[in-house]
A and B are shown apart, each in its own frame.
Chain A
Amino acid sequence: MKAIGIHSIDYLVKQLPHPVAFINKKFKLVAASKAWLEYFETTMHEARESNLLHLWNNKEDALWEQQLRKCFKGSREFGVHYSTDKSGKELWSKWTALPWYDEAENIIGAITSLEDIGGQLEQEAKYEKLESLLKEQSEITKVGIWEYHVAKDRLTWSEMTRRIHEVPSDYEPQVDTAINFYKQGHSRNTIAMLVHNGLHRGTPWNKKLQFVSAKGNEKWVIAAGKPLYKNGQITRLLGTLQDVSEQVTQETKTKESERLLRTLIDNLPLNVFIKDTDSRKILVNKAECEYVGVDDPSKLLGKSDFDLYEKDIAQISRDEDLQVMKTKKSILGKRTVNVKKNGATTAFLTSKIPWLTLEGESKGIIGISMDISEIIQKEDQLRDLINVTAIQNKKLINFAHIVSHNLRSHTANFSMLLDFLIKEKEENEKERILGMLGKASENLTQTLENLNEVVAISTNVNLEKKSLNLNQEITKVQESLAAFLRKHQAKIDNQISDKVYLKAVPAYLESILLNLLTNAVKYKHPERIPEITLSTRKQKEHIVFNIKDNGLGIDMGKYGNRLFGMYKTFHNNKDARGIGLYITKNQIEAMGGNIMVCSEVNRGSTFSVYFKDEN
C-alpha cells in the first residue's frame, strides 16, 4: 500500500511547475518535481542516491539541516538558497519547508519548494552594506562614503568625503577628477588601477595612499572600494575614504625616533644592552656586538652572561642585575672587570639602570659599559712615571742638599781660616793657618771630584754592560788595594766560583767592589783583625754578591734609612763612607740592580748587591 502511495505521489510531484521536493526524516529525497531536479542539475535517480545535504551545497547547509529538523517536528521553515549555474550565473532563491503528514497525521518528512528571488536579494544586500558602512562611519571618525553609478557615470560623495577632499558641498565629483586628488606618481597610478580592476574584474580594494586636497593639503588616506552587482552585472562601486594622516604622521614619527634612537645607541662609543628579568639580552648596540665579537645583534639576543663570559664573572653580573631589579636603584659608574671565555680581560665602567613598566614593576635592566682598559693602562703608566719622577726628585733634592751642605762647610772653613789669618801677627802661626787653608782647598777639590762622579753616574744611564768574570774583577781590585789590605792585615775569604759572570758596566763594577772592600776594612773593629767573606748566590732573576765583614757594624735602627742616603758629608778622606755608598748605590741602580745591608753593632756587616741575571 505504502509503496503504491509513494509512487503515486512521485507521479504527481514530477509534474508540478515549481521546484518542489519531498524529503523523508532521513534526509533522503522521496520525490521531486522536474523543475527541482533541473534547478539542482541532477536526475531523480542520482538525487535519491546522494546525500541531500551535499546536493544542497549551501554555505548555510548546517542551518538548513537544523531548520529541516524543526520542520520534522511540525514547524514551517524558510531561508535563502544561493548557488551558481553552469554558466557561472548567480542564483538566489527563497526556500520554504512544510511538514509532510501521512494519512494518520504523522509527520514523515518535509515538503520544500524554491522561489527565485535574484533581483530582490541584490537590493537587500546593497542596503545591508550601506547600513554597515554607516555604522562603521559612526564608529570611526573621518570616514567618508562614496558611490559610483556605472551606467549613469555618476559619482556621489558623502559630506565627510567632501570634507576630506576639502571641496564645497556643491562640488560635483567626476571619476577622473576624483582620481586626480591622489598624489601624482605611485598613489595616483595605484588608485587608477584599483578602480579599473574594481570596475572590470570586481576586485575590491583597501589601500593606504597619499592624497592632496583641493586646498593643497597633503594627507594620507585609506581608500576602499567594492563593486555591487545587479543581475550579475557590476552596476555600482561603493567605497569609503578615511583620513589617516595623523596616524601615519604618528607612525612616521615613531619610526623616525626609533631610528634616531637606534642610530644613537649604535654609534655611542659605549656598550649598551638591555636585559630581561632573567638577564637575557633583549637589545644590544653595535659596540656591544663588536666587544663580544659577533656581526649581528640577533646573535646575542636571548643570551645571558653565562653564555658569553667566565662563570664567576657572569655570576657577579647576574647578582648586580638582581640587585638593581630588586631595589629599583641604579648602579652607576662601577668599575668592573669582564673576562671572556677565551680569557680576554677588559676593564669597564658600568652603569645598570632599572627598566620599569608603566606600573613601576621591574622588567629588566638597561646597562651601559665603557671600556676603560686603555685609561687604566695610561693611569698605571702615569703612576709609574710619577713614581720615577718622585724618586728622581728625591735624589735631586738630596743631591742639592749635599752640594750646598758640603760646599758650605768648605767655604765656612775658608772664611774662618781667613779671619784668623788677617788677625794673626805671628809668622809661625800664619804659616800654620796657610797650611790649613791648603788642606781646606784640597778637601774642596776632593768634594767637587766626588760630586762630579755622582753627576757622571746620573747622566750616563745607558753605559754599555759587558759580561764580566766576578773573580777576575775582585782580583784586580785586591791588587790595587794590596798595600792598604796588608797594612790592616785583612783576611779575605773568597768563596765565589770562577764560573760566576755578571753583566755590568766595567768601571762601575770596579768602583763598587773597591768601595765595599775598602769600607769593610776601614770600619774594622779596633780589637779584631778584619776578616772578609765574599760569596754569591742565585735568587730568582738576580745574582746576589755578598760581602761580609767582622767590623764595627752599623746601628741599623738609627742609620739604616740613611746609610746610602748621601747624607754623610766627606769632610776628610777618613770619612769617605757617606759619598762612597751613595755612589755605589747609584751605580748599582743605574745597572738595574739593588743593594741591601744587614748589620749588627760590634759584630759586623753584610752588604748584598743584587745584579740582574741576564745570562
Chain B
Amino acid sequence: MDQPLAYTLKMKIRSVYIIDDDSITIFGLRKLLDKLYKDLVIHEFENGKTALDALTRLQKQNKPLPELIFLDINMPIMDGWAFLDEFLKLPNTSTVTIKIITSSIDIRDREKWKSYVKDAQHRIDFITKPIYELDLVDLQVAS
C-alpha cells in the first residue's frame, strides 16, 4: 500500500503553477507533488488573471515557463477557460502540460476541453476531482 512509487520520471519538472482558489485543493496537490518531485518550485495563483500576468512577465524576461500548470475552471475575475484562451495566444512558448482540475461532471465542460485539445501545441489533460496520486503519475509515463 504504502510502498514508494516505482516509476521513473520521464519528464524533467522544475517549476509548477497551481491556479486555483480552493485552499484544500492546493494543499492536496502540493502534498502529492512533494511526494513525486524533489526540489520542485510551486507557485500558487488564486485566479487566471494573476497567473497570466506572471507568465507574461516570465516571457518578457526570457525566463523559462513552468513545465506543468494545474488549472481550476471556476474562479473569479478570470476563470480557467479564459486563462486557456489567453495563454494559447501567447507566442513562442515552450511546450507546457496543462492539467485542468475540476469537480464538474458536466458533460459540457468535457466537450469544451476536447475542443482545446484538438489544436493546441501544449498538452492539455482533464482531471475530475478528487485527485489521486495516479492522476499525476500519468504525466511521467506518457510523452
Contacts and interface: CB of A to CB of B under 8 A. Distances in A.
A393 B76 CA distance: 26
Nearest to A415: B130
A439 B23 contact: yes
A484 B22 CA distance: 23
Given A413-B22, A416-B28, A572-B21, A401 B46 contact: no
A413 B76 contact: no
A552 interface: yes
B52 interface: no
Interface in B1-53: 1-2, 21-25, 27-28, 31, 46
B4 to A, nearest CB: 12
Centre residue among B75, B78, B82, B129 by max chain A CB count within 10 A? B129
Contacts, number: 79
B74 A413 contact: no
B46 to A, nearest CB: 7
Nearest to A406: B103
A558 interface: yes
Contact of A413 (B25, B77, B79): B25
A409 B22 contact: yes
Contacts of B103: 405, 408-409, 412, 569
A411 B103 CA distance: 9
Nearest to B128: A412
A419 interface: yes
Interface string B67-78: 000000011111
Nearest to A422: B1
B94 interface: no
A439 B24 CA distance: 8
B104 interface: yes
B105 A404 contact: yes
A391 interface: no
A136 interface: no
Chain A facing B: main interface SS: helix
B140 to A, nearest CB: 20
Contacts of A555: 78, 82
Interface string B55-74: 00000000000000000001
**Interface extent on A, as a size class?**
20 to 34
Interface stretch (A48-56, A377-385, A573-581): A573-581
A71 interface: no
Given A416-B130, A420-B31, A440-B24, A569 B1 contact: no
A571 B106 contact: no
A568 interface: yes
Centre residue among B31, B76, B132 by max chain A CB count within 10 A? B76
Given A436-B27, A555-B82, A405 B104 contact: yes
A409 to B, nearest CB: 4
Contacts of A575: 21, 75-76
A501 interface: no
Contacts of B2: 423, 425
Nearest to B108: A401
A574 to B, nearest CB: 7
A423 B131 CA distance: 15
A414 to B, nearest CB: 8
B83 to A, nearest CB: 11
Centre residue among B21, B22, B132 by max chain A CB count within 10 A? B22
A2 B31 CA distance: 173
A569 B130 contact: no
B16 to A, nearest CB: 17
Nearest to A553: B77
A145 to B, nearest CB: 102
A417 interface: yes
A571 B104 CA distance: 13
Nearest to A554: B77
A552 B77 contact: yes
Contact of B129 (A401, A412, A554, A568): A412
B23 A578 contact: no
Interface of A: 401, 404-405, 408-409, 411-413, 415-417, 419-420, 423, 425, 436, 439-440, 443, 523, 552, 554-555, 558-559, 567-569, 571-572, 574-575, 577-578
23 contacts: A404-B105, A405-B105, A408-B104, A409-B103, A413-B28, A415-B130, A416-B28, A416-B131, A417-B28, A419-B130, A419-B132, A420-B28, A425-B2, A436-B27, A439-B23, A439-B24, A523-B77, A567-B74, A568-B79, A571-B74, A574-B21, A575-B75, A578-B76
Given A568-B76, A569-B74, A571-B22, 17 more contacts: A405-B105, A408-B103, A408-B105, A408-B129, A409-B129, A412-B131, A413-B22, A413-B129, A416-B24, A416-B132, A417-B28, A419-B132, A420-B28, A423-B2, A439-B24, A554-B77, A572-B23
Interface of B: 1-2, 21-25, 27-28, 31, 46, 74-79, 82, 103-106, 129-132
The 4 closest A-B pairs by CB, nearest first: A412-B129, A409-B103, A571-B22, A412-B130
